[in-house]
A and B are shown apart, each in its own frame.
Chain A
């Protein structure tokens, strides 16, 4: 059983507050991903969990027992570092067995545990090699193996795939997910790549400037982002945003007009807490634009760039609105730069946000 609770965590470096009053629960066996832009504090949060940095205030609990006063090695956690942090002068075997050696475990126990971890990760033939003789992917597996050997209650991963090339990254994503299913241990994973978050997580924690923006399953964050930040962060390419003004509020929804447009749009809302004349933000994902003719709601724009990936195509439009529009469509659609395009969308797939960025209830 390994449940992590972070209660009201704050971390300050001098005068700079990098983590503000954060509370979070991670359940036993979950694969939780901390995701956010660079500098948002996700790695700091992980390091606080690991014990490599000290809390300014708050509590960390493992299975409801406080652990934030314990040394890193005594917390029952193991960490895989971004640069793997393998000891260069030691062999793979020595790297993996170091923690056990420090704990003065008998040789046969060490041997058994290392061999077992090596088998899981297919490192058997590399045990005598030194890190510099291994490829990036192999080194990463050694780093994971080192963590497995410690039989921790929770695994911590600090952007482990960032140093790998794109192809290897895809491969390792699947490997890690398989590993999680095999070991069934709680895993906390930090990354800035929302693709990794979406594909691997049971639960995603979106962090921005030291605060948690939203916690939830991947699809939940995709379909129901609580604020503009999460909406724009999850999903690639990012959601398109337009400004609008509230025209009329009724008991069923909101009537609003997009800037630089005459079209009156209506969105169903249960408890709209906006007033007439208020500015709002309107978001449509690139993949939610429709090309069928005679759509009621459309946006017009002039194509200035087309990116063809073969299986899909991205179209970039200049429109009368402030922002450029990115549209995602299938690979065989014929589009030329300079063309004038009307793209349609369904209100169902769109998101409304107040000017402060909070989602207006569906």
Chain B
């Protein structure tokens, strides 16, 4: 049987078509899901923010009016800046308390003490629990009368300290920050530990032989070489702080009680978008604008922080 050149060309084209169909088959379902449920909504969010909304019905194009309402309208912007202040507070506090402790834990675990593996598991345990569970659990523990915390304080004689932790504007947010730190310290601890493990043994041992103290070694060798992990944790902590929703929702309620001392951008967004008892009906337009603003805050910080922190990162190997 003699194959003509045309048959040959046809076979080639057929093969190319088969490859195209196969790749399309592979890529189509995941791409469809991504576009439908992520890209499209995100693009829409931007789009919606420049329109006026009446409930679920889109009204006129109003440009940056929604943004103005959020940032400049005196009735509203107090809420925005209050929540923003709280989010920043959360971020800074968590960086120091949660991530600082995590760093110490990581440094200690890096020395491979007895039971290191068990410690890792124990510290990571609260990380895997739902924030809802943790929120409720601690809400109950912090109950002024029935909660374990105050009962413990009473038992050891510190009665003046048995405060209504979640009920006072001065203590509510710090309390929640501590709860978050308790729950999440394991995550940065493990990430830092992994980063420390990546540092070549020889470097640390050489420093020890040179007579460096543990503190010096940690400061001059370990800390700089951990830089990539630090960058990641800083960015993730920021994103997490600005996304705070479940914890305050469970422990203090949608309005950030008491007296909006625990109000967060996430809560404000939810109230604006879906309405609440105090805020009234849904305001999709304003809510969308708020969402865009929050997104920009996170995005800008991530980029700036990454740029600054990446400059610190040392190439290893």
Contact = CB atoms under 8 A, between A and B. Distances in A.
B3 interface: yes
B7 A69 contact: yes
A12 interface: no
Interface of A: 54, 65-66, 68-71
A56 to B, nearest CB: 12
Contact of A66 (B8, B12, B15): B8
Interface in B1-54: 1-3, 7-8, 11-12, 15
The 5 closest A-B pairs by CB, nearest first: A69-B11, A66-B3, A69-B8, A69-B3, A65-B1
Nearest to A70: B11
14 contacts: A54-B12, A65-B1, A65-B3, A66-B2, A66-B3, A66-B8, A68-B8, A69-B3, A69-B7, A69-B8, A69-B11, A69-B12, A70-B11, A71-B15
Q: In this complex, which of B1, B2, B3, B11 has the most chain A Cβ atoms within 10 angstroms of its Cβ?
A: B3
A66 B3 CA distance: 7
Nearest to A71: B15
Contacts of A65: 1, 3
A68 B3 CA distance: 10
Interface of chain A: mostly helix, strand, loop or mixed: loop
Contacts, number: 14
B32 to A, nearest CB: 30
Interface in B112-150: none
Contacts of B2: 66
A54 B7 CA distance: 16
Nearest to A69: B11
Residue with the highest number of chain B CB atoms closer than 10 Å, among A66, A70, A71:
A66
A66 B15 CA distance: 17
Contacts of A69: 3, 7-8, 11-12
Q: Which secondary structure dominates chain B's binding surface?
A: helix
A66 B11 CA distance: 12
A70 B8 CA distance: 9
Nearest to A54: B12
Interface residues of B, number: 8
Interface in B72-89: none
B64 to A, nearest CB: 50
Given A69-B3, A69-B8, A71-B15, 9 more contacts: A54-B12, A65-B1, A65-B3, A66-B2, A66-B3, A68-B8, A69-B7, A69-B12, A70-B11
A156 to B, nearest CB: 21
Contacts of B8: 66, 68-69
Nearest to B8: A69
A113 B209 CA distance: 65
A185 to B, nearest CB: 23
Contacts of B7: 69
Nearest to A66: B3
Contacts of A54: 12
Nearest to B1: A65
B19 to A, nearest CB: 11
A52 to B, nearest CB: 13
Nearest to B18: A71
Nearest to A65: B1
B3 to A, nearest CB: 4
A49 B7 CA distance: 19
Nearest to B3: A66
A54 B1 CA distance: 22
A64 to B, nearest CB: 10
Nearest to B12: A69
B96 to A, nearest CB: 49
B17 to A, nearest CB: 14
A65 B1 CA distance: 7
A70 B3 CA distance: 11
A133 to B, nearest CB: 30
B239 to A, nearest CB: 39
Contacts of A68: 8
B31 to A, nearest CB: 28
Contacts of B12: 54, 69
A129 B3 CA distance: 44
A66 B2 CA distance: 8
A71 B15 CA distance: 9
Contacts of A66: 2-3, 8
Nearest to A67: B3
A255 B1 CA distance: 57
A17 B56 CA distance: 63
A303 B227 CA distance: 59
B248 to A, nearest CB: 49
A70 B7 CA distance: 11
A310 B175 CA distance: 85
A72 to B, nearest CB: 11
Contacts of B11: 69-70
A310 B11 CA distance: 60
Contacts of A71: 15
A9 to B, nearest CB: 14
A160 to B, nearest CB: 29
A348 B241 CA distance: 89
Nearest to A61: B3
A66 B5 CA distance: 10
A69 B2 CA distance: 12
A65 B8 CA distance: 13
Contacts of B3: 65-66, 69
A65 B3 CA distance: 8
Nearest to B4: A66
A71 B12 CA distance: 10
Nearest to B7: A69
Contacts of A70: 11
A147 B15 CA distance: 25
B206 to A, nearest CB: 37
